[in-house]
Structures are given as structure tokens and as C-alpha cells.
Amino acid sequence: MEPNARFRSAVRGFYAWLGSLVILGVSPVLARHLVRSGTTFGRVAAVVIGVGGTLPWMWVVLSIIRRGDEFVRRLHLIAFGLAFSGSLVLLVTLGWLVRADFIGQPDLMIVWAGCLLLWFMAIMGAKLYFERAR
């Protein structure tokens, strides 16, 4: 692949990533607005938009992993493992805190954002670890 074509491909990938982040951020706001409408159609549309808003971001992350070399794949594998473990501990802790009546039912959008933040911290930590190991 010639350098100009590789650069254009990288720019398209970057804009796809930015676009997926915009969709990821806007879809919960739109879905919450539709839930408040109270109609059956609005609630169904809220579920579809709320779930569908995460799919472009997942697709872009998957395409980044598929196009990456062994280093990128290892980085994401370690980060996903750490993030999934942290998310599981978070969900189990919240579940037991709710069951023991220490806290009320948490907003799942905040829990979801917390899990996304855990993933981001895990990928940055894995990146820092592997860059220092080289």
C-alpha cells in the first residue's frame, strides 16, 4: 500500500472512531428523552437507539484490533481482561450493596460509563506497561 493510501485509510479510521464516540455519547441522551415520552413506540425506539448506539463503537474497536499487529492485539487482550475483571467486581459489589439495602438501585447508565472508564484505564495501563517493557 502506498503511503498516501495508508494515510487516507488512517484518517478514515480516525474519523470513524470519532463518529462512533459521538454516536456513543448522543444515543443515551436521545434514548432517555424517548423513554420519557411514555408511549410504547417511544420506549421501543429508546431501547433500539440505546443499544444500537454502542454498536458502531464496538465495530470500530473490533476493526482496530483486527487490523493491528501482535502488539496491538496483546494490548487489547490484556486491557479487556482487566476491564472485564474490574467490571465484574464492580457489578457484584453493587449487587450485594443493593441486596443488603446499603444503597438504592444504581442508574445503569452510570454503571455502564464506569465500566467504559475501567476499560479506558486498563488500556492506558497496559499500553504504559508494554511500552516500558520494550
Mean local confidence (pLDDT), 68-94: 91
Q: How far apart are CA 14 and CA 7, in angstroms?
A: 10
Is 70 exceeded by the pLDDT of residue 100? yes
Lowest-confidence segment of 2-6, 68-72, 122-126 by average pLDDT: 2-6
Domain ranges of the chain: 1-67, 69-134
**CB-CB contact of 64 with 13 (8 Å):** yes
Is 90 exceeded by the pLDDT of residue 97? yes
Per-residue pLDDT, 1? 60
Residue pLDDT, tens place only, 4-60:
887 888 788 889 989 998 998 899 899 999 999 888 899 999 999 999 999 998 899
Per-residue pLDDT, 6? 78
- From the CA atom positions of the chain, what is the Rg in Å? 18
